[in-house]
Structure 1
Amino acid sequence: MPLTKLFRSAAIAASFAVLVPAISLKQAVAQKPVATVSIAPLDRLTTDINELLTAVSASSVQPMISFFADHYTQGMDRTRPAGVLVTLNNQAPSALIFLPIKDEAALFTALEGIGVQADELESNLWELITPGQAMFVKKSDGWLFVAQTEDELSALPADPAAALGGLYKTYDLAVRMNVQALPAEMKNMVMENMRMGFENGLQANPNQTEDEREAARQAGEAQIEQINRMMEETEQAFVGWSFDSANQRMYVDVGSLAVPGTSMAKSAELALEAESDYSAFILPNAVMKFRQTALIAEGDREASVTSVNGSLKQVESMIDKDDKLDAGLKDLLKGVVGSLGALVKDTINEGKLDGVGSASLADGRLQLLIGGRIADGNALAAKVQEAAAELEGKSGAPEFEFGYETYKGVTLHRATVALPPQAQQIIGDQALLTVGTADKGFIIGLDAAGDALVKGAIDAMQSSGPQKVSPFEADIQVGAILEFVKTIVPNPMVEKAAETIQSYAESDMVRITSRAIPRGATIRLSIDEGILQAIGGAVQGGGGGAGGF
């Protein structure tokens, strides 16, 4: 499943979550919940929160949090999960809270300290009188169930933890949305609000030309149509957060599952078969790298092409509005953008995206390596060569050398670009770009030392061959980047963060990893302990926010 669809599924879930205030619950157990909130057992949850606070240098608030967590959960079973089940009755959303309990009297006594009184109505049934409202509590089989009316407690699950589907075993906190349990009227309301917001946004920008407005309208309508289809075809979406105390790492997962037999489900199946030609195409000692591989179902290509068209219109508009460019250069740049855009659209229509990039800061100089699949690499070279001919003789124009060598079937070109003093600190006296083009691919390398970088990448790519891969992955080594940045842009927050993170040289990564599963996908953002420590160090170094980037 493409990443854009995954994120949109999560956004849909979030949109509906906003529509779930606790109003009224009847026949909650008989209905399938539209939303489920999972809370890990207290022992693990409090441990992970304390570890997280230590990691971000906020241990000073731990005593207060520990006090509240321990005092106001007295009597609860700290080894079992808690949760909330949200259901709909006549489109009215409501919540049933369940808490694992050992001694309800101890819990009620603790709650008296914040003005909550428990009046026993009958055996195992209480009314909670709070400063703002009354709620009802019922004990059943070692659980306390909390609802807003007594009637809502008439039928209760014997094991509510089973409804969490094991989420509490993986996450400290998680929310799962059952999109298909939402009534059509509620979905239509969400879509109508989206359309109104889109129309208002178009009208609120008087500086747009008619062409820009029309391009924005087409792109927006395509996105709305895609979101509408996703609401109809998404079975579940979830988000989960946890702190891995054993590995000192925080992570957030987002995922979605499609309705069987739908176009989204078929797209997800394609992702299971994706192979990349660029899995070995990574710089040694890279401080940043990414790869995305996607097989695009035929039914999804039109929407992707429409999105590209909208982006091209925006770029052309920016070029037209740039007063520093003369008319001839504007036309040249728009021609290049249009040609590149056409190649991107052709690539989409062929049904596969496969691209990779990485950056290195070896020896204090920036090196870049980017490569990917394209519908016609030779046409790309020809278009760039045409643009270079137009630039020849102009002040500040790069020096080009096309087709200077063919290396293992890849035609090599190079461009030398003069740099301002600030950029020379990062790249060197001048930028040397090596570009490789082939029938269905391209490579771009930035390395002042020459083309060895690109040739090494070609060697690695051809020796490894196609490999089965996940849809997306990215790594950022924050410590090395901070060390580099502080030498160029002195800043107390950066310097403090860099100093702190050096103690965590093996734990300074931000990672984004995705996983294709039958009918769906998940994506994880993980942040290592060293980065969390650096955040706390940066705040301290900046005087609690007095400085900044």
Structure 2
Amino acid sequence: MNNFIQSGRLAIAGLLLAAMPLVALHAQDAEFKPVAVVSVAPVKKILADVQYLADAAGQTDAGRMAALLSTPFTEGIDKTRPVGVVVMTNGQEFAPTAYLPVSDFDKLLTTATEQIGPPQDVGEGIKMFTPNQMPIFVKDAGNWAILAMDQEKLANPVGDPTVFLKDLPEQYDLALQFFPGNIPEIYRNVIVEQMKTGIDLSLEQEADETDEEFAVRKQQIADQVAEIERVFTELEDIIIGWNVDATKQGTYLDIAYTGAEGSEFAKMMALNSDLSTEFSGFTSSEAAINFQGTQKLSEADIARMDKQMNSVREQVIHQLETEGDLEGDELASAKKILDLAIDTLIETARTGSIDSGLMLDMTGGKGTFLAGAHVADGQRVEDGVKELLKLAAADGEVPPVKWDAETYQAIRLHVMQIPLDDAPPEAKDILGENPEVILGIGEKSVYLSGGNDAMARLKKAIDASIAGSDTKVGVVQMHVAILPILKGIQKNAPKPVPGVDAAIEALSGGADKFLVTVDMEQRYMRLRMMLEEGVIKAIGAGVAAQNAANAEADANFEDAPAF
């Protein structure tokens, strides 16, 4: 049966491919739409940003060298306007063209001739270069030079690419924008059918896998393919853009989506355009590690999560039963823990809201972990923790827990003392002489703290969360601050580490974070990953110092007397 299905899909894909030339005969006069746009910022901005990065990394001369080396390749190009590539389609064929901003077309031709050889004049203001026997056609269009691999594509090109580039050159040094809905349906069908066929051909039932489990795994993959298919119908565009921004003191990569009007993606984005958190006290811009995640879930999101979590449950149970590491009561306990955890996730999703915050604070070299999250049933979480401790106790000694040690703001606090009798002095310095791990259970919330002054810090975070319960947030706000982490390494290293010492010195000016944010508004969503300037400085200084130390060590080794 599987072979029959695979053969059928291959046949469908083949028929679709065979049909393309026939359908193309009817698409001669169809309207062209963009499928992809590539935007490159003006040369002037690119070189300025390269110099900024070089300066930040302590490699100023490298930035100057880049500017010098670029000169022969940019003669005749207007360095104040962007470069663009536009891929158009009329529903059947693709028409890619590139656009170079021109200040002097003849100089541009001379520059190209020096690099790839002289062109041939093919008429109508078009020149043909043939590097590596591959034709490239160039048309003089006033203040633009238009390039194509096919001369016919230059017959009616887009006159001004900025119509499609829009504000991409101002937002990013380099950007790629896709319009998945404009990919011709016949090509979409081929892509999907070939994907399904490839999966069917590679998917095999494992020796210890039952028919039911194999069916579940196949369904998971089918669901993933369905999610990919949604991209073609539910996303208006996808933008991947990289930029260097001296005013924001860093460099970042964006991945952004615009949902098609009325689509599930658009509804999800609109649903999350105005969010607030109940756990603002558990995040801090000064923390070494900080995470806040808040999201409202649609009915479709809840259904997908329900299905995914139950699938995970089945897979993990199968793994527990077949690996044989746990038996009898221990296996039953592990299954119970899994059920409690999965049920908590599913029931929390069914409330239509996910909300959490956590941080690792290392101020003054002292370490404290704090976390808080919304759950559907706090008691279920407590039951799961008790079962987990019971299972752990079967393998060794577990510190005792003082259940219901106290109640604060209607939250029951359970306390575990962490013995540090045999711990090194450095651990006591970071965590305190008598560190605690505290589990807080509310009716619809759960809390965790540990380390130095854990109880007082937890109560302070709870109070701050109550006071700031209407704090506006994005979907995700996360950062990792490099300086406090490096200081911790420096303090506890048995001997000086030159790279770490140099990186800490470079970070003295601040801006030491790696940040990840996810924001949504109406039909738009953006994921941003950013490196602040200080991190770039630290990387440059650290690598240079470590290389110098290694070179010195090698030299001393070579000069050492032989015995």
Q: TM-score range by the shorter chain?
A: 0.7 to 0.9
- Offset at 1:203? 2.8
What is the aligned partner in structure 2 of residue 71 from structure 1?
72
Does 1:466 find its partner at 2:470?
yes
Q: Give 1:149 shift.
A: 2.4
- Give me the whole-angstrom Cα distance separating, in 1, the residues matched to 2:261 and 2:242: 27
> Shift in Å at residue 224 of structure 1?
2.5
**Structure 1 residues 446, 235: closer, same or farther in 2, change over 3 A?**
same
Match for residue 457 of structure 2? 453
In structure 2, what is the equivalent of residue 38 of structure 1?
Answer: 39
Tell me by how many angstroms 1:48 deviates.
Answer: 0.8
Point out the more displaced range, 250-259 or 274-283. Answer: 274-283
Does 1:513 find its partner at 2:511?
no
Query: Does residue 1:261 correspond to 2:262, yes or no?
Result: yes
| 1:127–1:247 Cα change, 3 Å | same
| 1:69-92, Cα deviation, whole Å (9 max, x unpaired) | 211110111111110001235644
Q: Does 1:440 align with 2:417?
A: no
- Spell out the pairing of 1:357-368 with structure 2 (5 A cutoff): 357-368=358-369
Q: Does the 8 Å CA contact 1:283/1:359 hold for their aligned counterparts?
A: no
Pair 1:119-2:154 in alignment: no
Letter in 2 for 1:184: E
Shift in Å, 1:205? 6.3
- Aligned CA RMSD, in angstroms, stands at 3.3
Q: For residues 513-533 of structure 1, what are the alpha-carbon distances to aligned partners after superposition, in whole Å with 9 as ceiling and x for unaligned? A: 222122121121110122112
- From the superposition, tell whether residues 189 and 29 of structure 1 become closer, same or farther in structure 2 (CA, over 3 Å): closer
SS of the residue 1:34 aligns to? strand
* Counterpart-to-counterpart distance in 2, 1:65 and 1:503: 24
Q: Aligned runs of 1:58-457 on 2, under 5 Å?
A: 58-59=59-60, 61-88=62-89, 91-122=92-123, 124-196=125-197, 198-199=199-200, 202-203=203-204, 213-282=214-283, 285-313=286-314, 315-316=316-317, 327-388=328-389, 395-418=396-419, 421=423, 424=427, 427=431, 432-457=436-461
Deviates more, 1:73-82 or 1:112-121: 112-121
Structure 2 partner of 1:15: none
Moved more, 443-452 or 473-482: 443-452
Could you list the runs of 5+ residues in structure 1 that have no partner in the other structure? 1-23
Alignment of 1:8-47 (within 5 A): 30-47=31-48
Number of equivalent positions: 522
Separation (CA, whole Å) in 1 of partners of 2:114 and 2:149: 21
Residues 230 and 247 from structure 1, CA distance in 2 versus in 1: closer, same or farther, beyond 3 angstroms? closer
Tell me, in whole angstroms, the C-alpha distance in 2 between the residues paired with 1:323 and 1:430.
Answer: 38
Q: Which of 168-177 and 266-275 deviates more?
A: 266-275
Which of 495, 498, 502 aligns to 1:499? It is: 502
* 432 and 217 in structure 1: CA distance in 2 versus 1, 3 angstrom threshold: farther
Corresponding residue number in structure 1 for 2:559? none
CA distance in 1, matches of 2:483, 2:474: 26
CA spacing shift, 1:265–1:361, aligned 2, 3 Å: same
Closer/same/farther in 2, CA of residues 209 and 401 from structure 1, 3 Å limit: farther
Give 1:100 shift: 0.8
Residue 487 of structure 2 is aligned to residue 483 of structure 1: yes
* Separation in structure 2 between the aligned mates of residue 499 and residue 100 of structure 1, nearest angstrom: 43
Question: Matched residue of 2:280: which SS?
Answer: coil
Return the offset for 1:30: 4.9
Look up the SS of the partner of 1:535 in the other structure. helix
SS of structure 2 residue aligned to 1:76 = coil
Distance 1:207 1:394 in 2: 28
- Return the TM-score normalized by structure 2: 0.83
- Name the SS of the counterpart of 1:246 in structure 2: helix
Structure with max Cα Rg: 2
- 2:11 is matched with none
Q: Could you tell me whether the CA contact under 8 Å between 1:501 and 1:531 is conserved in 2?
A: no
Do 1:218 and 1:306's aligned partners in 2 also have CA atoms closer than 8 Å?
A: no
Q: Which moved more, 1:201-210 or 1:303-312?
A: 201-210
Instruction: Return the alpha-carbon distance in structure 2 between the equivalents of residues 527 and 132 of structure 1.
Output: 42
For residues 133 and 391 of structure 1, what CA distance do their matches in structure 2 show? 67
Per mean C-alpha deviation after superposition, the further-off stretch among 307-316 and 508-517 is 307-316
Q: Is the Cα contact below 8 Å between 1:385 and 1:402 reproduced in 2? A: no
Deviations 1:138-171 (A, max 9, x none): 1123111011222211113332212102110111
Q: What is the percentage of aligned positions where both structures have the same residue?
A: 24
Deviates more, 1:308-317 or 1:293-302: 308-317
* Contact map agreement 2:126 2:138 (CA 8 A) in 1: yes
Q: Distance in 1 between matches of 2:329 and 2:417?
A: 22
**Partner residue of 1:527?**
531
**Letter aligned with residue 517 of structure 2:** T
What is the letter of the counterpart of residue 465 of structure 1? S
The structural deviation recorded for 1:469 is 1.9
Residues 279 and 357 of structure 2 are in contact (CA less than 8 Å); yes or no, is this contact kept in structure 1?
A: yes
Which structure features the higher share of helix residues? Answer: 2
- Alpha-carbon distance between aligned partners in 1 of 2:390 and 2:73, rounded to the nearest angstrom: 74
What are structure 2's unaligned runs of at least 5 residues? 1-23, 552-563
Q: Which amino acid aligns with 2:512?
A: D
